[in-house]
Amino acid sequence: MRGLAPGLLVLSLAGCAALSPRPRGETVTAEGWAALDAKDPCGTKARALAEAQRRAVEKAAGVTVRARTTVEAAVELKQKITADARGRIERFEVLEEKREDGFLKVRIRALLVLEPAPEKQDAFPPDLKFALEVPAEAAQALRQGLLDRGGILASAEAKPDLLIRGKAQTKPFRDPRVRPFFSSRASLTVEAVDAATGTVLWTKTQEAAALGSDPESASASAVASASASLAAADELARVLWNRF
């Protein structure tokens, strides 16, 4: 019997290897834009390439996005989107580079490796519906963060369990070290409210800074960055489990 053990071990390991998830590759094309800067052509190209690469990752990951839909009375069809993949660029090539309307436009073909996203450690209670009343710049990150934790997006008229409210304050400023870009600092305060009682269950303020081609874009990016940090907060899930 002892002579069979090594063979059994090899078969066992082979079976485990066959069951392990393997990263999936995707080849996509994407285009990135950057405002032309005659004083910094290398920087212009680097920004356009970075934008093209970011769009390539988003485009490739979108292939693996799954959508669950629910229909509620008197409420339009809604989608719950959960991204189940992350992407990293294995290699890329520049297909086209042109200057147009004050922008450098770079089109690339990229090979991306998509890997399963890590599981969330703190999911929301099952079937918890939420609605958002936050600045537009903060909505995307907060919405995705809540969906990733198992929340179900609903309108305020659909009687959600949870209302997420937020207010942002921004302060653009010019820093000579980052010219020609503008800087801005944002302070975003978000609170989670029990929609049935109006009780504030959780509140948190997050600050962030960002750059932009003008004060408005810098402020929008700063708010978005702050919202991404709040969306990753684990303590909200623990508060909701105690409430619902």
78 is written with which tokens? Answer: 């809604």
Determine the number of helices (DSSP H) and then strands (DSSP E) in the chain. 5, 10
Tell me: the pLDDT tens digits for 33-54?
A: 988 888 888 888 888 888 888 7
pLDDT reported for residue 177? 75
Tell me: the pLDDT tens digits for 86-126?
A: 567 778 899 999 999 889 999 999 888 766 544 444 688 88
Name the DSSP letter for residue 122.
Answer: S
Q: Which of 237, 186, 240, 188 is nearest to 216 (CA)?
A: 186
The arrangement of secondary structure in 22-118, i.e. its CATH architecture, is 2-Layer Sandwich (3.30)
CATH class of 120-244: alpha beta
Stretch(es) of the chain classified as CATH 3.30.110: 22-118
Q: Which of 13-27, 55-69, 107-121 has the lowest mean pLDDT?
A: 13-27
Stretch(es) of the chain classified as CATH 3.30.160.150: 120-244
pTM higher than 0.85: no
